[in-house]
Chain A
Amino acid sequence: MTHMLDKIVTLWPEVALLVGACVCLAVGLSPRAGTRLLCAWVAGLSLVAAGGLLAFGVGQADQGLAAAAGTGMTGFVKAAIVGVGLLLLLVAASVPSELERDAPGGLVDGDGKFDPGSVMRGEFFAFFLFSLAGAMLCAGANDLVWLFLALELTSLPTYVLVATSRDRADAQESAVKYFFLGAMAAAVFLYGFTLIYGSTGLTNFDAIRAYVAAFADSGEPLAPLLRTGLILAILGVSFKIAAVPMHFYAADVYQGAATPVTAMLAFVPKTAGFVSLILLLSLVQPAGAEATRAVTWLLCLMAALTMTVGNVLGLLQHNVKRVLAYSSIAHSGYILVGLVGFTEAGSTALGNGTAAVLFYLVAYGLATVGAFAVLGCIGSRGDEAQTYDDLAGLGRRHPVLGAAMLISVLSLLGLPPMIGFIGKIYLFGSAIDRGYTLLVIIAVLNSAVSAVYYLRIAAACYFRDPAAETVSLAVPWRRAGAVLAAISALVLGVAGGRLVDAAHVATAGQAQAVAHVSSVAP
């Protein structure tokens, strides 16, 4: 029982988000339009509260306890989710207003005719917070049941967000597609979890690590059931990160959803997916490199295919939302490079693949959110801007937005002053350090290919005449979000040392925890 209580103490930030979500649901039902508008502030306040609790809680945590519980990584990931979550809230805050402007009677003050079913402001922010809380719970998972529930809590609200974000058939089609494939992927990784449980009889991560370590000491290879379970779990979770066997939904869904919601899809489920992958791989880490060769090969294959498919298909697109969707797929491939060779705990700062993955998630998140946010600030022919033509002349008409887009795409490309550069150095350096040179060569070639479409976006913004039919939308918060994301990408790129250190310290705790389990295992 005390074990459970210890665990709950670490969950205050998530509790803050869940409370905020419930308040949003209640406030969103108010018949007074002015009260309903408070939802965004409630959501922002609960995110700030979660951030405060996190800063306070992490400062309070006993270092040894934190290392033993593997909370180093948890704290880093939670802080990243809260930080980028605040940016996403800025970007997405005006989505319900854009819908209600079209819906008749949506924003009219209630005089007995108010229909709660006609507004979705409360639900929008509540589901947004639920999804963020789910991703944070993933980071704190120490049990297969917990991880499954957290992954579902991350995904289920996103299906609703996609369906209701735009009053168009596209959005609903893409939501249904996303939901059905998501349910299928959930069944696949759940079957994987089941086989892991079946092989060990355990669902607690520490217990499974100890079990695997005991077998590794006896010199036996990984049980086939455990290996199959792990592979199925990896394949199922690859849906969340849009990696190769489960990537094909990404372009359609990202295109169908409203642009601010797309920005969220590109960061929150992906972070949850990568954190789950790190946790799942840590289960078999004590078995050593030899016993987990099949898993390593699978990861190598997935990484190489994902980035190649993402970049090649990205070249063929004319729709910028689809281009950024394929860029998001390609980035999953790059990040997977950091996970291969997970058995060798990095000794040097450069050799620590897990830390590189965590750092790159932040780098990728800032740049992608920035790019989608700029795209969300402009409209074309009564719809959202989607094509290269819609971006034409952006740099001349809106120098700030143009600069934000330029910084974002250059960071995604990985050019030096931006955070993406440090991220890629760190990610590929860790893989070279562990001897996966061929994979890194593929990744670098892919980065070069991706320059074509990133620079095409930048060129459209700066070297083409402004298109007559594009208008800039009156969304001050979203512009602020775009600018903030770009500034963060630039500032953290110039002074990213501290963040790199934080990522390294965060995963050192994880590595220690694994080493600790290995040493106490009989």
Chain B
Amino acid sequence: MHHAVLSHFLLTGAVLFVLGLIGFLSRRNLIVMFLCTEMMFQGVVVTLGAFSRFHANDTGQTFVIFVLTIAAAEAALALGLVVLLFRRRGTLDVQAWGRLRG
């Protein structure tokens, strides 16, 4: 237990991912839900970095850079959409919706 090994990093990544997933499914505020998806992405990033080190190639770290870029693009899009909806609705609570039901 004195040295951090691959499984520690993988566990950290998996915990981040699962926490994000649980948060996404249980929270009702749009901003918090978005933060949860970001947390899932960060879990993936930690895992990728760990595998990259384990396999001693840079592919995983290259992947990380692309993932972060996409995450940034998604953040910009999320803020735009959330602002658009907030102007119309005045609330960020997903349970306040429900116009679209069969």
Point out residues on A near B: beta carbons under 8 Å: 144-145, 148-149, 152, 156, 159-160, 163, 169-170, 172-177, 179-180, 183-184, 186-188, 190-191, 193-195, 197-198, 201-203, 251-252, 255-256, 313, 316-317, 319, 322
Contacts and interface: CB of A to CB of B under 8 A. Distances in A.
> For the complex, would chain B's binding face be called helix, strand, loop or mixed by DSSP majority?
helix
Interface string B57-71: 101101100110010
A153 B85 CA distance: 23
B21 interface: yes
A interface SS class:
helix
Contacts of B10: 198
A243 to B, nearest CB: 19
Nearest to B99: A170
Given A149-B66, A191-B17, A197-B63, A251 B102 contact: yes
Contact of B82 (A160, A176, A193, A197): A176
B100 A145 contact: no
A198 B63 CA distance: 12
B21 A156 contact: no
B97 to A, nearest CB: 5
Contact of A180 (B34, B47, B55): B34
Contacts of A194: 44, 47-48, 51, 63
Nearest to A173: B97
Contacts of B20: 187
B51 A197 contact: yes
B70 A152 contact: yes
A191 B44 contact: yes
Contacts of B74: 156, 183, 186
A154 to B, nearest CB: 12
A203 B59 CA distance: 7
B17 A187 contact: yes
Given A156-B73, A159-B77, A187 B51 contact: no
- Most-contacted residue by chain B among A156, A159, A174, A183 (CB, 10 A): A183
A202 B59 contact: yes
Contact of B24 (A156, A184, A198, A201): A184
Contacts of B81: 159, 163, 172, 175-176, 179
Contacts of B101: 252
Contacts of B55: 198, 201
Contacts of A187: 17, 20-21, 37, 40-41, 44
Contacts of B77: 156, 159-160, 179
Contacts of B82: 176
Nearest to B55: A201
Nearest to B87: A172
Nearest to A201: B55
B2 interface: no
A313 B97 CA distance: 21
List 3 A-B pairs, minimum CB-CB distance, nearest first: A201-B55, A187-B40, A198-B51
User: Counting chain B CB atoms within 10 Å of each CB, which of A169, A190, A317 scores highest?
Assistant: A190
Nearest to B17: A191
Contact of B102 (A160, A172, A256, A322): A322
B62 A145 contact: yes
Contact of A190 (B44, B78, B89): B44
Given A176-B81, A184-B21, A191-B43, A319 B99 contact: no
Contacts of B44: 187, 190-191, 194
B56 to A, nearest CB: 8
A110 B33 CA distance: 41
A186 B77 CA distance: 14
Contacts of A202: 59
Nearest to A198: B51
A179 B78 contact: yes
Nearest to A149: B66
Contact of B100 (A163, A183, A256): A256
Nearest to B46: A194
Contacts of A173: 85, 97, 99-100
Contacts of A160: 77, 80
A179 B17 CA distance: 18
Nearest to B76: A156
Contact of B85 (A172, A195, A313, A317): A172
